[in-house]
Structure 1
């Protein structure tokens, strides 16, 4: 059987938000973008789009600049956060390029107006892009300092009526302690929003978790490093943790 004859798995999800960190684009480098890694993630997105799923994305900027880190080094916090937002735009453009190389129509939508490189955020226009099966990458966070890309992802997921946030990480779920450092770390199959907040489990920042909780938006934490993981999780396979009620 050829690859084109392989049955496409089905999923209950029609529209989802994929949230990944900027560090996920670094590969084995310590900084910046690693093009083969960007291409690999783009192919993961392609396989999910082939399932008929409408996809939103938010990518962090920590591989280029992290506002909180800049603030800690003496930079004024608002300025540092805006620099971090610009880093997310650079990552979004890199991902757009990789997706369009695969023939996937993509729109970068920025919370900060920069018409030459990205569309401004207009909710109804973004929804229409999704309905036309375009991937929408939301960049520049919420457009406001003091808010992380986790919060931006949760905000946009709610505005776009996504059915879940898929948080791609380096581990295959939420653990009670760092599984890299502790061999006896326990992975949760499901954990509530309040347990994540009370236990400081590090899934997302508190604002993002609270916003997801208040809107009953599930967060599915999975490993982005596992080939085919994104599509597998959407079709109910693989190992992951669900954060929800």
Structure 2
């Protein structure tokens, strides 16, 4: 195995599948099976999911909503997605724990770093919900922060594209893919990998980021085994 402990970052939009809104249960089940594959091989797995399939704070702010209120709504959306994935993981035989940055005692545990690490050591899949618990921070930043806190070996960012390109491959057919790129090069080329706060956190703590296509079944296992899937930023 290439890694011992990883943090998997999933976008909320990816959970929509072919729908225009909400949660596609088939997509969530596919993700759960992929995660179960690497977990059964002994990999310690922590997960952060976005909430863009339900609510986006920035979009709501542009429509006239107070940014802080909108961001807290977005945090609650990530908890809904986390609960959906938790259910799918447990149906695949995994033991899980959902830890959130906002207290919700009836459905999850509060985030405590030592408790999260202990859950991972005991073989549980740990899902971090509600972002950092603070407005103005994205779930990318939450993923980077939690990965550093639990001493993960890498952040694996599962998207619908198979890596980092010179331009948006869905819009520009001539876009060239990077197999590997440095943090400095990403800055210089102005590439959109994560938001700047999240990206800087990873750079300052020497935490590699791997961007890959999560929607292709089996990619996560190949990546965990060391195959050159996606693009690595290091």
TM-score normalised by length of structure 1: 0.94
Q: Which runs of 5+ in 2 are unaligned?
A: none
Match of 1:229 in 2: 219
When the two chains are superposed, the root-mean-square deviation of aligned CA atoms in Å is: 0.8
Match of 2:197 in 1: 207
Question: Secondary structure of 1:242's partner?
Answer: strand
Match of 1:41 in 2: 31
Match of 1:167 in 2: 157
Post-superposition Cα deviations, 1:153-176, rounded to whole Å, max 9, x if no partner, equal: 000000000000000011111001
Question: Secondary structure of 1:204's partner?
Answer: coil
Post-superposition Cα deviations, 1:31-81, rounded to whole Å, max 9, x if no partner, equal: 000101100000010001011000000000000000111111100000000
Say whether residues 1:96 and 2:81 are aligned partners. no
Mean CA deviation greater in 171-180 or 195-204: 195-204
Mean CA deviation greater in 197-206 or 33-42: 197-206
Say whether residues 1:133 and 2:123 are aligned partners. yes
In structure 2, how many angstroms separate the alpha carbons of the residues matched to 1:240 and 1:76? 37
Aligned residues: 234
Say whether residues 1:12 and 2:2 are aligned partners. yes
In structure 2, how many angstroms separate the alpha carbons of the residues matched to 1:239 and 1:217? 18
CA shift for structure 1 position 201: 1.3
Mean CA deviation greater in 76-85 or 190-199: 190-199
In structure 1, how many angstroms separate the alpha carbons of the residues matched to 2:23 and 2:36? 20
In structure 1, how many angstroms separate the alpha carbons of the residues matched to 2:68 and 2:229? 38
In structure 1, how many angstroms separate the alpha carbons of the residues matched to 2:191 and 2:48? 21
In structure 1, how many angstroms separate the alpha carbons of the residues matched to 2:73 and 2:87? 22
Match of 1:79 in 2: 69
Say whether residues 1:196 and 2:190 are aligned partners. no
> Is this contact kept in 2: 1:197–1:209, CA < 8 A?
no
Match of 2:171 in 1: 181
Question: Secondary structure of 1:185's partner?
Answer: coil
Question: Secondary structure of 2:98's partner?
Answer: strand
Match of 1:23 in 2: 13
TM-score normalised by length of structure 2: 0.98
> Is this contact kept in 2: 1:229–1:238, CA < 8 A?
no
Question: Secondary structure of 1:179's partner?
Answer: coil
